[in-house]
Structure 1
Amino acid sequence: MNEEPDELDRTLHAFWGHLGGGMSPAAQMLAWSDWAIHLATQPGRAARVAIDAAAVDAPGQVHEPRLSGKEWDAWPFSLYRQAHEAAAHRLRTFIHGVPGVDRHHEHLVAFMARQWLELLSPANCAVTNPQVLQKIAATGGSSLASGAMHWIEDAGHAALGRPSAEAGSFRPGREVALTPGKVILRNELIELIQYAPATPTVHAEPVLIVSAWIMKYYVLDLSPHNSLIRHLVAKGHTVFAISWKNPEAADAKLGMAEYLRLGVMASLDAVEAVAPQRRIHAVGYCLGGTLMAIAAAAMARDRDDRLATLTLLAAQTDFTEPGELGLFIDESQLAFLEDIMSRQGYLGAEQMAAAFQALRPGDLVWAPMVRNYLLGERVPMTDLMAWNADGTRMPYRMHSDYLRGLFLENTLAEGHYLVDGRPVSLNDIDVPVFALGTRTDHVAPWRSVYKIHLLCDAELTFVLTEGGHNAGILSEPGHPHRSHRLLKRKRNAPYVAPDEFLERSQEMAGSWWPCFEQWLAGHSGPKRRPPGMGSPQRGYPTLGDAPGTYVLAR
């Protein structure tokens, strides 16, 4: 009898969650009521803010990119822009800084208000967007016809769960993920790829790359010119990479423990079999870096000395300041996500994509829609955009484990995270660490990534590079407008705060890849002949060509 009401509640929550795009209505109401009650109980401040806001017609001369350009300077479009920007300024003034409002609630109210402001932008409407009107006049209206055809085409692909034709032109193993290699391990969670050597001799220590399980691994092996994996192979490194399975409903019970055991530790065993008695350079990207840091801490605790170094690329280990993703993380929100996932066994890639898009709705939602459907132009597809559309699902238990355990409770940083029933500490890690943050990262803010300095006393090299969470990593040599800062900290050296890092580090032009490769080489032994592909005698035969089969699953 007790289970039936719970099941009914979960069904209702899942239904509401789908209607609200995965956002908990309770979390939204709590945030708005907290803000409204505190504002209502301070009428003097509210009146003063209203007067000050009304006295400002616009927030300044710098306009948002979608409302900039000479077309917007002409009447009446300048009036539309002024009205919109003045309203946005007044709303921001009202929302922020109300004494007594919970900080998380204030950020959530501001986030929801931003969604409405972006929706109501004059750039989104054909009759108030001068660029759209000019295009209609220049094409005799055929641009709108083209836009309508684009919409029909995209709606059809979405209904069938298929990628767009443009995204489908970047296929793993054909146009992207082209670095030659072999799959040498396949289990219920991963395929492990060993890449073929490109040099007659290689560094003794192999490199294992662990990407985030919420993305396809080939972001690090896109086109040949911007593949970090190909770059490392060309420099004489033996590289292995984990390709995560795209989970289905039957995989709902796979959690952090399984990802650690079947993913990282199983891969280390395979790499050790291929290159015996060689320590391993472990490289983790995003949540793959968090998972690799947990594994490294557990290995240090258990006296497992197989690691030569640890590299964390845009990877957080302390989640007290998780960035804008923290907007979606509180008890109410997690309860709703868990109810949604309980019905299907996973969180869909489209649901995660919607959350990331909501963080930057102007750039990621409305601007492409205006260009595709109102201007009748196709946004040129790139390899990175195609990869971004090739999402993966998240198992029910895994999503709960990392959102609740890492983000909400911050158990790793606080020393409560359990591996095999015992807590791990990042301070036990004693191998050299290379940590990288990207300056405009809204997924793993660089100051949050920088907190590894507070949790680990090992030798640490920190690099801050230009770009965002993905584009900053894909910063190949020759990429325009790229620079980076680097500062090394000796083992047990005094703490250097982030602002002090900016003062003491020197900005260097160009990609961070060469300095990373040199760092790896500096912590490697003499070069020698490459190991064989796989190790059949130790149970790791070659199972097929890279990029394998798991990466192709949708």
Structure 2
Amino acid sequence: MATNKKIIADPPPPKLDMDAFAHNLAQLVEEGGKALAAYIRPREEGKKDDLADDVADAVKTIGTVAEYWLADPQRTVEAQARLMTGYLGVWTAALRRMSGEPAEPVVAPDPRDARFKDVEWSTNPFFDALKQTYLVTSQWADAMVKEADTLDPHVKHKAGFLVRQLTNAISPSNFILTNPELLRETVNSSGENLVRGMKNLTEDLIEGKGDLRIRQTDMSAFEVGRNLATTPGKVIFETDLMQLIQYEPSTPSVKKVPVLIVPPWINKFYILDLTPEKSFIKWLVDQGLTVFVVSWVNPDARLAAKGFDDYMRDGILAALDTVLKATGEEQAHTVGYCVGGTLLAVTLAYLAAKKDTRVASATFLTTQIDFTHAGDLKVFVDEEQLGVLERRMKEFGYLEGRKMASAFNMLRSNDLIWPYVVNNYMKGKAPFPFDLLFWNADSTRMPAANHSYYLRNCYLENNIARGKAEIGGERIDMSKVTIPVYDLATREDHIAPARSAFIGAGLLGGPVRYVLAGSGHIAGVVNPPSKQKYQHWTGGEAKGEFDDWLKSAQEHPGSWWPDWVAWFSALHPEDVPARPIGGGHFNAIEDAPGRYVRERS
């Protein structure tokens, strides 16, 4: 029987416009020269590179893994055979597919791995084989570290981290000729994407003064005080280290006992005051709280000698004095985020030793007190690396903000580094405007003395948890902290792991409400109830094993913020009429968010 069906052929593959490509190739070479000049010029003017020590340490660390396998010839042969077997399986499957036969993949990427989402990674036998070869190699390299049984635990941890950085870097998704999406982009635009990408690279090298500062967002889309950190308030007090902001009340009455928030100095405070829809600070004000926030200075060499005790005295304690005088109250509630929470914990132990009862409660947001399980950040901290870092800080008086920012980005390099390399420099596209990534790029410097104390007493020696740390002449004993504590951890935290926060909560001597939020270090904290995102778990005391606590914990949908307000309100439920800023004792220095937070590194 005849059929009237019309057969529609697949569209022909795109053809490369050779004239346009040749023109763009010439432009690419020209732009490449500009990028090279942007890299070289600062070095000709005396800029020092500090990569040599980092590279030497990495080579030494990975070399210890190689020595383990090469020390035993039988072990070496077995390791090589394992890798070759994986390659042979991929090759055999690829030949079957090219012959038109079905073949199951030897290895498949994690479904959450966005690098291989393009359909050609699975449908095209060449790219599928390339992907599987890469996965076999990276999994083999990871196993080589994990199975090196005699390695020192710290060296093994560091080697595993470095191997992941290396395998993430050599992924075929990061290169034009091995990424089907990039190949299509290059053919369709006749290489114009590469010209745009080289221009982006030049701009980022210039912005980084010869170092590559990869843009994760459109930095021109945001401005602190214009569309970020806009909750109305005034700076009412300042020291060399911080400004204290008091926020205008938005309710006719407020809770009697005020709240003092201590953010990390490694980042800027406005992570808690992003856009109005995401602002934790604005939400607290709208719940009828009198809110004060410490805004740390972005320090320079003049503050090189400022240590942990200075940040306590001229930061938290000076802020506490001001809060109580401005409100006329005898006590204040406190909230500490990340390293701001660590400093707050130390301050509370100091106050307990002094029999000072001015703090009514403490809330720790993704805070570590015990650093035994501090995650991948520990790979950057050992005596040798600290010695190198301290020599660098002594030269300048501080640690450059980009150093810490780079370390945090490396913890999630497949999310925070390589997608932007591909997007910015190979696709030639501008990054999408995102307030959180603007904040992430707005890094701060760290004074040499303070950062050295923090790394040694927390990450290297864990002295706070062990009761061996001293501050202001007092030995720190966390068991003396007996005030009520709300301790929030986040389940996917790569900076302050939930298990680590749980152990720290168990060191405290008073009642602790330990709560686990969904998502990670930032998104799990900055999670307004209106978004109805993630979830949180509540359970018993933070005692015993974390896994046992989690098994018996109750899951609740949505944000943890309402749970915190209920806990907070039960401590001191009394209301008073809304207070004027400064309370008649302090005049406004300037409008929030103040000038300290606007200082860029």
> TM-score under structure 2 normalisation?
0.85
Contact 2:540 2:549 in 1 (8 A): no
User: Which segments of 5 or more consecutive residues in structure 2 lack a partner in the other structure?
Assistant: 1-45, 91-105
Q: What is the 5 A alignment of 1:355-366?
A: 355-366=407-418
Alignment partner, residue 553 of structure 2: 505
Secondary structure of 1:436's counterpart equals strand
Alignment partner, residue 523 of structure 1: 571
Secondary structure of 2:576's counterpart equals coil
Contact 2:294 2:319 in 1 (8 A): yes
User: Is the aligned partner of 1:68 residue 2:117?
Assistant: yes
Q: What is the 5 A alignment of 1:230-379?
A: 230-379=282-431
Contact 1:54 1:90 in 2 (8 A): no
Cα deviation, residue 535, structure 1: 4.0
Go from structure 1 to structure 2 and tell me whether the alpha carbon gap of 1:24 and 1:398 turns closer, same or farther (over 3 Å shift): farther
For 2:228 and 2:255, the matched residues in 1 are separated by 26
Go from structure 1 to structure 2 and tell me whether the alpha carbon gap of 1:29 and 1:78 turns closer, same or farther (over 3 Å shift): closer
Secondary structure of 1:225's counterpart equals coil
Higher relative contact order (CA 8 A, sep 6+): 1
**Residue 117 of structure 2 aligns to which amino acid in structure 1?**
S
Per-residue displacement from partner, 1:336-362 (whole Å, max 9, x unpaired)? 100111111100011111112222222
Go from structure 1 to structure 2 and tell me whether the alpha carbon gap of 1:28 and 1:373 turns closer, same or farther (over 3 Å shift): closer
Alignment partner, residue 222 of structure 1: 274
Contact 2:262 2:344 in 1 (8 A): yes
**Residue 261 of structure 2 aligns to which amino acid in structure 1?**
I
**Residue 23 of structure 1 aligns to which amino acid in structure 2?**
D
Segment of structure 1 superposing worse, 114-123 or 198-207: 114-123
Segment of structure 1 superposing worse, 91-100 or 366-375: 91-100
Cα deviation, residue 474, structure 1: 1.0
Alignment partner, residue 79 of structure 1: 129
For 1:102 and 1:189, the matched residues in 2 are separated by 39
User: Is the aligned partner of 1:213 residue 2:265?
Assistant: yes
Q: What is the 5 A alignment of 1:164-203?
A: 166-203=218-255
For 1:179 and 1:498, the matched residues in 2 are separated by 37
Alignment partner, residue 38 of structure 1: 68
User: Is the aligned partner of 1:28 residue 2:75?
Assistant: no
For 2:161 and 2:459, the matched residues in 1 are separated by 19
**Residue 546 of structure 1 aligns to which amino acid in structure 2?**
A
Per-residue displacement from partner, 1:297-346 (whole Å, max 9, x unpaired)? 11112111111111110010001111100000000010010011111110
Per-residue displacement from partner, 1:131-175 (whole Å, max 9, x unpaired)? 111222333433233323322333333339999692133111111
Q: Percent identity?
A: 35
Go from structure 1 to structure 2 and tell me whether the alpha carbon gap of 1:192 and 1:528 turns closer, same or farther (over 3 Å shift): same
Q: 1:89 aligns with which of 132, 139, 146?
A: 139
For 1:208 and 1:318, the matched residues in 2 are separated by 23
Q: 1:145 aligns with which of 177, 190, 195?
A: 195
For 1:366 and 1:117, the matched residues in 2 are separated by 12
Go from structure 1 to structure 2 and tell me whether the alpha carbon gap of 1:65 and 1:108 turns closer, same or farther (over 3 Å shift): same
Contact 2:487 2:505 in 1 (8 A): no
Alignment partner, residue 499 of structure 2: 447
Per-residue displacement from partner, 1:258-314 (whole Å, max 9, x unpaired)? 000000000000001012234211100000000001111111121111111111100
Contact 1:280 1:309 in 2 (8 A): yes
Cα deviation, residue 128, structure 1: 1.0
Per-residue displacement from partner, 1:405-426 (whole Å, max 9, x unpaired)? 1211111101111122120211
**Residue 513 of structure 2 aligns to which amino acid in structure 1?**
T
Q: CA RMSD in A?
A: 2.2
Alignment partner, residue 467 of structure 1: 519
Contact 1:163 1:389 in 2 (8 A): no
Alignment partner, residue 8 of structure 1: none
Secondary structure of 1:89's counterpart equals helix
**Residue 529 of structure 2 aligns to which amino acid in structure 1?**
P
For 1:469 and 1:525, the matched residues in 2 are separated by 30
Cα deviation, residue 536, structure 1: 4.6
Contact 2:263 2:340 in 1 (8 A): yes
Contact 1:432 1:459 in 2 (8 A): yes
Cα deviation, residue 70, structure 1: 1.1
Alignment partner, residue 435 of structure 1: 487
Contact 2:257 2:329 in 1 (8 A): no
**Residue 411 of structure 2 aligns to which amino acid in structure 1?**
L
Per-residue displacement from partner, 1:423-480 (whole Å, max 9, x unpaired)? 0211111111111111111111111011123311311111111111112111111335
Q: 1:156 aligns with which of 203, 206, 209?
A: 206
Go from structure 1 to structure 2 and tell me whether the alpha carbon gap of 1:17 and 1:457 turns closer, same or farther (over 3 Å shift): farther
Segment of structure 1 superposing worse, 192-201 or 117-126: 117-126
Segment of structure 1 superposing worse, 413-422 or 331-340: 413-422
Go from structure 1 to structure 2 and tell me whether the alpha carbon gap of 1:428 and 1:15 turns closer, same or farther (over 3 Å shift): farther
Secondary structure of 2:234's counterpart equals strand
Secondary structure of 1:462's counterpart equals strand
Cα deviation, residue 193, structure 1: 0.2
Q: 1:136 aligns with which of 154, 173, 186?
A: 186
User: Is the aligned partner of 1:19 residue 2:51?
Assistant: yes
Q: 1:495 aligns with which of 543, 564, 570?
A: 543
For 1:244 and 1:103, the matched residues in 2 are separated by 36
Secondary structure of 2:340's counterpart equals helix
Q: Say how many residue pairs are matched.
A: 533
Segment of structure 1 superposing worse, 103-112 or 290-299: 103-112
> TM-score under structure 1 normalisation?
0.92
For 1:531 and 1:214, the matched residues in 2 are separated by 31
Asked which structure has the greater CA Rg, the reply is 2
For 2:273 and 2:533, the matched residues in 1 are separated by 21
Secondary structure of 2:346's counterpart equals helix
Cα deviation, residue 17, structure 1: 7.1
For 1:226 and 1:242, the matched residues in 2 are separated by 19
User: Is the aligned partner of 1:412 residue 2:444?
Assistant: no
